[in-house]
A and B are shown apart, each in its own frame.
Chain A
Amino acid sequence: MSEGYRKFLRMKQLPHVWCPGCGNGMIVKALLEAVGELGLEQDKVVVVSGIGCSGRTPFVLDFNTMHTTHGRALAFATGIKLANPELKVIVIMGDGDASAIGGNHFIHSCRRNLDLTALIFNNGIYGLTGGQLAPTTPTGKRSTTTPTGSIDAPFDLVRLALGAGAGFVARTTSFDHKVMASLMKRAISYRGFAVMDILTSCPTYFGRMNEVAEPYDMVHYLRDTTSAMHDCTCGETDEAEDPVVAGAAALMSTGVFRDEAREDYGTLYGRKVAAAVERQRSAT
């Protein structure tokens, strides 16, 4: 990491808790690059997390940071952003955090369209609790609670976010590090609710349970189970024909699935308040 981004790290809180070979460090590097390149004011950035391996991210980040309860990071972030719209609020969740225990907050945040950036560190397993089944674990894969393989259908977080109405939806992997930071810049700059499903490697649990225990192999697993980058805004893909959206693919598509300008909740609320204050004034 170049020296420029050291200022975003709480050096005293390092080393972090993640295992060797974990993909989360790559995501954090991209995030700090994105924040640096966007020139965000460090004092006005808030990073909110839930519980799990991803939840440990804000400990080492020198922003305003809040490590909340399992699944509720988006609800806490909603309060922070509405109370002080000047703050740039970035929410970090795990896949189980966002779509199992926090699924309700996730879909409602998608439809509400408050100006938040949701980064989902999706390792397809519950890492911090020791490798149990996640709602994103692919069918047939093993975990400590599906020792003979899962029969559950997994959530596709991109389709979930698209269906729930999020205005910006993208997916990338910790293997695709080079594009991750540029996608994050787009997600963070998006005015409204932006979702990034970031597939990341967990050699310790997902890998050891599923014959990809070596970090090197696990990174290649991410490469080999995803398809090339797409960008809906470049006319490269038609959403209906996208293998992920069409639901037919063995491979997970990566790229930008939706990037639509629409009025965010804060703007709408501001207008509502202005009208209410005016109504009050003319009544008195």
Chain B
Amino acid sequence: MKQLTMTAMGDSALLIQFGESIGEEVNAEVQAAASHLERHPFPGFLECIPSFTTLTLYYDLLMLERPKGIETVFEYVCSIVEELLRDAPNRPSPKRRVALIPVCYGGLHGPDLAYVAEVNGRSEEDVVRIHTGQDFLVYALGFAPGFPYLGGVPESIAAPRKSTPRLSIPAGSVGIAGTQTGIYPLQTPGGWQIIGRTPLALFLPDQDPPVLLESGQLIRFKAISAAEYNRIAGERE
């Protein structure tokens, strides 16, 4: 296990850094550490939140009795985490299957598909072919409940954010921002270029886990027709 950098984030949280830049290897270490800590919670452990290159750990300092000779609870938690992660696998447990996400591209569901095609000098069909042609890693969930940060969009279909964010983007909308792509789980304002929409629900508050996708997972988009979109959306009703 390599030397980890841990930084205090106030008196009740700390941040563990696994690498300097975004990459699948580093993210795999973050995810592995997150599940290891969850499986071995220490007294006072509240939760941990994985992101691209870091894991943030939240704890209740009043629950932690630091031994004599250790100055702060932060140092004590660092020593506990180091100890725990020493035995942690540096890869996540067996990858779940690649989740297939049906998307109806263009038209009303993807008003910015034409723009994304145009800025890249390609046809709309090309953009869809490239977007559906590879797996994407869910680096983290955040921004909104169940929102997957998916990196690794090829430069050939990358597109800048809208200069003025839309006030309302429907739930299920699939967007591109730079070389990131993502799916809006809830109707929210947003500045990403919207190229399509999935009929699947990403945030499922009544289920456990309450999300369709989890961080560390691979997904692949699949193009569907408007009729197919309506059929799947209809089944959800």
Q: State yes or no: do A and B come from one complex.
A: no
